[in-house]
Amino acid sequence: MSRQQRLIAAGLRFPEGPSALGDGSFAVVEMQGEAVSRVTAGAEPVTLGDLGGGPNGSVVGSAGEVYVANNGGLSAQGMDYWHAPRSFDGCVQCVTPGGEATQVGGPLPGDAPHRPNDLCFAPDGSLLVTDSANWEDMRNLNPGRIVRIEANGQTSALAELPALPNGIGFGADGRLYVAQSLTRRILVFEWNGGQLSDPEPFCRLEPGGMPDGFCFDSDGRLYVCTSIGNGVHVYDASGELKETIETGEGTQPTNCCLYEGSLYVTLAIPGQLVAYELGVGTLPLHSGSIESSVAQS
């Protein structure tokens, strides 16, 4: 379905992971800008934190800080890869309202390279992160993981998940949803006091596209960015496709969030944050605060 698109900001360097800051502005990671920026309609983006690497997803903490899944400096660029000038093994970072950047959590589980992709807070205040593993080597792709970082920074693997785990978030039903990009599926897990059940399929993207970031509205509808599919698929609570919001040929929608009835979507190729007025309610997100461990230089 073609809906009217409203431009919020342009000139972003491969944007990802928009998060509403609650005042009409948004934290948007710029993967090829190695930064997270504050974006407000009608104003130039302002750098919130200079991070290095490849910032890939964001979520807002309980004190207004922004947590970022940083894949260490990798991005798709046509048929090849972009590598950040300041590359490192991937990690999770925190940017305070004052702009200080720190690393949170202990060493990520499993073999390097780690490629943190997206993140969300759980009901208990812990931070859940997808690690997509070595996706720069698809022929030898390792299983990824869902990683949990507790408030004190303790880090552990909750689940191993093959085929490039990507977007992550809790639905209105209290279950955990994870995008599995290479199978084109959204998986769902029962959450039980910090433990996960075995995954079950919720939906599969048809007719095309690869699931990237997503969000839920207050009625349980799921909005999934289809990346190379150039749209946002909308599913009802049973997993049935209800609508596809077209973002335009060659736009590569990467992630989205809802705020005051509008869907905000990052478009990687044109470098834009755009909005679609839908008139739906926003599902409140879980929040928390994680102890920082390593200052970033």
CATH of the domain at 139: 2.120.10.30
The overall pTM is greater than 0.95? yes
Q: Taking all residues of the chain, what is their mean pLDDT, rounded to a whole number?
A: 96
Task: Judge whether 246 lies within some domain.
Answer: yes
pLDDT digits (tens, 9 = 90+) for 200-257: 999 999 888 999 999 999 999 999 999 999 999 999 999 999 999 999 999 999 999 9
With bands split at pLDDT 50, 70 and 90, how would you rate the model's confidence at 292? confident
Lowest-pLDDT choice from 41-45, 77-81, 171-175:
77-81
Asked if 73 contacts 81 with a C-beta cutoff of 8 angstroms, the reply is no
Residue where the block lists tokens 């335009």: 248
Asked if 39 contacts 9 with a C-beta cutoff of 8 angstroms, the reply is yes
At 297 the pLDDT is: 45
Q: Which domain holds residue 67?
A: 6-295
Residue ranges of E strands in 14-83: 15-20, 26-30, 35-39, 46-50, 55-60, 66-70, 74-77, 80-83
Number of domains in the chain: 1
Task: Judge whether 164 lies within some domain.
Answer: yes
Task: Judge whether 1 lies within some domain.
Answer: no
- pLDDT above 90: percentage of residues in the chain: 93
* Residue partners of 239: CB distance under 8 A and separation at least 6: 186, 202, 203
Question: Phi and psi for 27 in degrees, rounded to 5?
Answer: -85, 125
At 173 the pLDDT is: 97
Task: Judge whether 196 lies within some domain.
Answer: yes
Lowest-pLDDT choice from 96-100, 125-129, 285-289:
96-100
pLDDT digits (tens, 9 = 90+) for 49-100: 999 999 999 999 999 999 999 999 999 887 789 999 999 999 999 999 999 9
CB-facing half-sphere around the CA of 115: CA atoms within 13 A: 20
277 to 33, 117, 203, 216: CA distances (angstroms) = 28, 27, 25, 15
Task: Judge whether 213 lies within some domain.
Answer: yes
Asked if 18 contacts 273 with a C-beta cutoff of 8 angstroms, the reply is yes
